[in-house]
Structure formats: structure tokens, C-alpha cells
Amino acid sequence: MKIIVAGCGKIGLSILSSLVSEGHDVTAVDINQSVIDYITNVYDVIGVTGNASDCETLKEAGADNADVFIAVMDSDEINMLSCFLAKKMGTPKSIARIRNPEYNDTSLVFLRQHLEISMAINPELLTARELYNVLKFPSAVRIESFSRRSLEMIEIIIPSDSELNGMTLMRMREKYDAKVLVCCVQRDDEVYIPNGNFELKAGDKIGFTASPYEIQKLLRTIGILKKKAKDVMLLGGSKIAYYLAQMIIAGGSSVTIIEQDYDRCQKLAEGLPKATIINGNGMQQELLLEEGIESCDAFVSLTGMDEENILTAIFASMQKVPKAIAKVNKDELASMANKIGVDCIVSPKDITSDIVVKYARALENSQGSSVETLYKLMDGKAEALEFVVTAESRLTGVPLKSLQIKSGILIGGIMRGKKTIIPSGDDTVLVGDRVIIIAANARLNDLTDILK
């Protein structure tokens, strides 16, 4: 598809990179010539320098015959205006980044309808939701939900003292009475779609699917289930911190926010009357200790500096904080953070690009079982996708063990009405089922893409 990305900051560049890797014909628009020069040197894209809310710029970018227009510039209002103009010029689908908390659900619905915007994305709100999921379930380094939370995909890291160390998946199923399916394993930089003979090791990051009840049952049995974080400390008073604090307070827990900018502290105090707001430099260890980092259940570092977030998360871990999380946008730093002991990181740009890639794949598909949900797993080396099975599918009614499925692909779960099925070889897929597919090093648009 032909896709225009307007605004090439961290979020825009991540979206652009993902769409190029997906094989789309991408045009980049940015007001900064040096940014466009860099992008066109690194990526196989067309670059246009100019204001994306200007009709001449949009015409040069090809808005009259593009399939999707994505606006991720700094201003919500310019994003909405440029989407509206692109739509009027002929681009049928548009996505606008809208981040201001003042645009609540009601006003967003109104704006989308009247400006004919196909999708509104808020990276900060999406990131806050992912963080809140982990704080509710601190045993995980990541948790994703499918089909109204009836089935979840969870990633954990096997501790050095875990009884899972040295255990095969077959033995694990025999020993523990829990209906879970280990779908993928990351060991160092390699990702595996394991079979029953695969032997787990300490330090492995494992991803498995199950119902929420079965996940808690297994983690309790193997002794790594942690209680929900009740006392949370946030470093940095960003929009992510604001959204996350709202969720934490609504969930009945307490939250402390440390922010260096006094004016920002004032705004946070007005918007979050039940939160504790501290004006100070969170990089000072004395301040963190004084404000009780040693006694909190979770620490989340959300400053604008990846390096600061990594260092403070490590410091929190050294103080025996049960869950320490860092926001990291740079890929090279994210990889390093994992290796030096930060077990849980979040990346707003990656979360946002996943949403856009899912939307693009759904538009591309013409066979009916389009991508409903898409998550990147194992540091982006694998994907979990949710499909709805249609009557045209070649998979229906055939036992899974009889299907010729490509290597590196696994059926991780089936949702049939209110029933969650962790599949075996004798199970079949029926029309109307929601099917979870785990794929390593494969790009799937349609459910039938899993077949040889």
C-alpha cells in the first residue's frame, strides 16, 4: 500500500521503519530538511520537506492517490487538520496522533466523526495501559490480552533458582496441572518456537498463553507469583505518568510522582489530587531513599532520558524494589538494559508502531480473516496475532495435527464463544473462532498464511 507518514520524530520514524520492513510504499513528510535527508539516506522512501497541513505539500507527497495518511507531528490540532485535508484530497484512511488529556473520549468521538479520521492513537495512553497491566501482574515482564481478556499472552524470565531450570516442556506439562502453552522462548538473541523436548534454562524469557486464572495458578505453583503493586513510585511527570497515575489511583493503590520541573508539579497536583507529588531531581539517590523507594512495591522511570531511566531502574532493583521498570525508546539501549539487569522495559514508539502495522495488515487483507490483534514479542523477534475464522478458511474442521503448518509458527490458543482452548493436535478450528498464532521470523496477513 502507499502510505504517507507526516512527522518524523521518534514515533514517526519507528512507524516508518516498521511499514518499510512490511513492504509498503512509504512517503515521509517533515518540515525539517535535515530530517528528510537522513531518512531518505537510511530508508528506501520518498521524502518531502514541508508543512503537512499545507495542500501543496500534501499534493507533492501524493495524498491524491495514497491509501493511508498518518499524522504524528507535535501538535494534535495540526495532526487532525492534516488528516482532514488528506482525506479531502483523496486518501481514504487516516491516523492521527492525539495526546492531549483534555481530548476525552466524548470529544474524540466527535472530532473523529466530523473530521473523518479513521483512527486516533495516543502513544502515552497506550504505554500507560501496558505499564498498568504489568503493575497488576508484577511476575510478568509483559502481558497482553486477546478477545476481551479471555486469553492472555505473558512473558516471564526464569529466575536462577527456579525449578523450571533444566526442565523440558513435556516434563513441565506432566508435573504442573495448569492449562498453559509455552509458545516461544528467547535465549540470548535467539528466539525458538519450542516442542515438548525443549529444555528450559535460567535466564530464558518464555512466552505462554493461557486464561488469566491458569496463568496465576501456574506462577503460584512454581513460586514466582508476586502480589499486585499497591505502592508505586514514578520518576518523571510526563503525560505517561499522568495517565498511569490515574489508573493506579482508580485501582485503589497509592502513587508518588517525582518531577524536577516545579510548574509541571503544580499541574500534576491539580490534576491528580490523590497522588503525592514531589518536586526534586530523581537522579539524586538521597531523594529517592528519602521518599521511600526501599518500601515501595514498584518503581517506574519515565523521564525523557533513556539513560537516566535505565540507571534509576537498576538503583531501584538494588534497593530490593520487587518491580523496576524503565521507559526506553532507543533499540540499542533497550537491548543493553536487558543484559545489565533491567527485566522490564517499555517503548512508546514500539507500542504505537505495532498498532499501525496491525491496521495496515488488516487493510491489506482481502480474504476475510484479517488481523484483529497484533503484538510484537521477544524484543520484536516474534509476533502474536489474533484472527477471526471465516467460512472461506481452509483450516476449518481439520485436526491441527493434520495441518501442514510452516516452521516457526504455532497455534497458541483458540477462543470459542466464552470457552478458551489451549490446543492439542486433536483440536479443530471452527467458523467464528478467534485463533491466536505465534510466529517467529514470518509476516502473516491472513490465517491461511500459516499453511505451507
Res. 368: pLDDT tops 70: no
Residue 380 has a pLDDT of 82
Report the predicted TM-score, pTM, of the whole model to 2 decimal places. 0.86
CA distances from 388 to 213, 400, 440, 448 (A): 23, 16, 20, 11
| 57 Cβ neighbours under 8 A, 6+ residues apart | 29, 48, 50, 51
The predicted pLDDT at position 365 comes to 63
Specify whether 196 is located in the same domain as 248: no
* pLDDT at residue 367 in the model: 46
Mean predicted confidence (pLDDT) in 401-429 = 91
* CATH classification of the domain holding 196: 3.30.70.1450
Is the same domain home to 59 and 114?
Answer: yes
Whether residue 112 sits in one domain with residue 29: yes
Domain boundary residue, one of 156, 188, 221 = 221
E runs forming strands in 282-408: 298-301, 323-327, 344-346, 371-377, 382-388
CA–CA separation, 277 vs 168, rounded Å?
A: 48
Domain count along the chain: 4
User: Same structural domain for residues 308 and 397?
Assistant: no
The predicted-structure confidence for 293-335, as pLDDT tens digits, reads as follows 999 999 999 999 999 999 999 999 999 999 999 999 888 888 8
Per-residue pLDDT averaged across 38-61, rounded? Answer: 96
The residues with which 327 forms a beta bridge, in sequence order, are 346
Would you say residue 126 lies in a domain? Answer: no
pLDDT in tens, 79-116: 999 999 999 999 999 999 998 877 766 777 788 888 88
CATH code of residue 95: 3.40.50.720
* Sheet strands side by side (includes 151-157): 142-146, 151-157, 205-210, 181-187, 190-192
State which of 221, 248, 273 marks the end of a domain.
221
> Nearest Cα to 87, choosing from 109, 107, 114, 106?
114
- Among 261, 295, 321, residue at a domain's last position: 321
Same domain as 235, residue 217: no
> Is 430 strand, coil or helix?
coil
146 plus 242 within the same structural domain: no
Domain that holds residue 407: 364-450
Of 36-45, 174-183, 271-280, the poorest mean pLDDT is in: 174-183
Bridge partners, 419 (sequence order): 416
pLDDT tens figures, 142-155: 888 887 678 889 99
Domain check: are 237 and 210 in the same one?
Answer: no
Residue 259 and residue 236 share a domain: yes
Could you tell me if 375 and 416 lie in one domain?
Answer: yes
Mean pLDDT of the chain: 91
The pLDDT tens digits for 175-228 are 887 788 999 999 988 899 998 899 999 999 999 998 888 888 888 888 888 888
Same domain, 29 and 74: yes
Report the run of H or E that residue 10 belongs to, with start and end: helix 10-21
